[in-house]
A and B are shown apart, each in its own frame.
Chain A
């Protein structure tokens, strides 16, 4: 160090040290020190460079990306919250799974954690109250597409996954004909998931497709939320299924009006009556 300047600073070089400059920069020096450092710095290229270096550090910090929560941590945290939820709100709320975003689900599929598709039959094992045993015979492209979207039970609980392109294949719809005098399901929508074909007995569904909406109070609350959010959808729906829509837990409500099936998909928070409408379609 061959600095020729000298000043009223304790450091050997006659400059304020970096801590002092940082304090000056942050405005935390007392007025007298601040005045001294300011007077020095305005005339000292070296100290100006140091202050600029601090600004560079600040820029780096502000650009620092947020590390994503690892999948294992996420599963663990949301399992703990689900347990807390059930103890607070009762076992009827057991069905809601931890949810991951679509990109996260894709990431996991790439990681090879999915493999529940076999011969077009998806068995989503589940023992929760609203578990859905989907012994489906849905055939064709849509059902297969729905199957592809299925995520592992460890991640998604018992929810079948659909997208806006595959939602028309939801099992609850198979029990409702195209508005032409088909069987209206009762309020509770204890829909058997499907018929197995001639001679086969309907498979009893444990719990209900409706999931938490099997609780009439939650269902009515949500229906009234939908009535407020979607014109023409006041009153009770014909059927409801708890499912995963575009990666999120959701409820598919089916209304029969004017010979059509009107689908309304709402976020799972709808149980409070606050309907977050994700998608609507008329079949």
Chain B
């Protein structure tokens, strides 16, 4: 005899109506996704944890301002991503730090035979090389599955900007992932117009 779980909107509503535990239940439900957004944006686990904590406390306090025309997860993601982007902008001069999960102590040149898990690590490292604005757009649209419109709302930019950041980011990822020591796939990725690209020493196949 199990009642259906409360929806995200129910939990947030209950939180604003005085349920002391509803907000934590909501965060618990989405903790991994929210963590992934913070970690991928900031690339530094300590800073990601700081940013996520600040963002969630501010969401806790600002829940009354939530408007139900957007999904609760969109609202939460918007708060988290912007808290992270604020930090990125503040520390703009500082070098990025590689994901510890992605490093795993293995030299890149040994990653020529990649299991699925290793593929994920390589993709994470490739993402880390993108400019943060492209990374944020790709993360929200391609990894998290948000619509271009939702992502534009979260990032406070035009939809065309989101599309363009995604397309340029994918192009850059294609080059990075095609470089030696990276993935064998996507094998078909080539820049047909570029005889020399800094991140890709392999010359493309000729047209058949």
B191 at the interface (CB under 8 A from A): yes
Q: Is the CB of B189 within 8 A of A77?
A: no
**A interface majority secondary structure:** helix
Interface residues on B, range: 35 or more
Chain A's nearest CB lies how many Å from the CB of B184? 11
Q: Is the CB of B57 within 8 A of A89?
A: no
Chain A's nearest CB lies how many Å from the CB of B208? 5
A119 at the interface (CB under 8 A from B): no
**B interface majority secondary structure:** helix
Chain B's nearest CB lies how many Å from the CB of A63? 8
Looking at B52, B145, B203, which has the most chain A CB atoms within 10 Å of its CB? B52
What mask results when residues 43 to 86 of chain A are scored 1 for a CB within 8 Å of chain B, else 0? 01111011011101111111011111110011011101110110
Given contacts A22-B168, A44-B207, A60 and B123 within 8 Å (CB-CB): yes
Q: Is the CB of A272 within 8 A of B32?
A: no
Q: Is the CB of A76 within 8 A of B19?
A: no
Q: Is the CB of A12 within 8 A of B36?
A: no
Chain B's nearest CB lies how many Å from the CB of A127? 19
CB closest residue in chain B, given A9: B193
Q: Is the CB of A17 within 8 A of B20?
A: no
CB closest residue in chain B, given A80: B53
| Tally of contacts, chain A with chain B, CB under 8 A | 231
Q: Is the CB of A54 within 8 A of B174?
A: yes
A177 at the interface (CB under 8 A from B): no
> What chain A residues lie within 8 Å of B34 (beta carbons)?
69
Residues of B whose CB lies within 8 Å of any CB of A are 1-3, 5-6, 10-11, 14, 17-25, 27-28, 31-36, 39, 45, 48-49, 52-53, 56-57, 60-61, 101, 119-120, 123-124, 138, 142-143, 145, 160, 163-164, 166-168, 170-171, 173-175, 177-178, 183, 185-195, 203-208
Instruction: Identify the 9 closest CB pairs spanning chains A and B, nearest first.
Output: A53-B189, A56-B186, A11-B193, A272-B19, A26-B167, A18-B191, A22-B171, A69-B35, A17-B193
Task: Apart from A46-B192, A60-B186, A276-B5, list 12 A-B contacts with CB within 8 A.
Answer: A16-B193, A28-B160, A56-B189, A57-B173, A61-B123, A61-B173, A66-B32, A66-B36, A81-B24, A85-B20, A96-B20, A96-B24
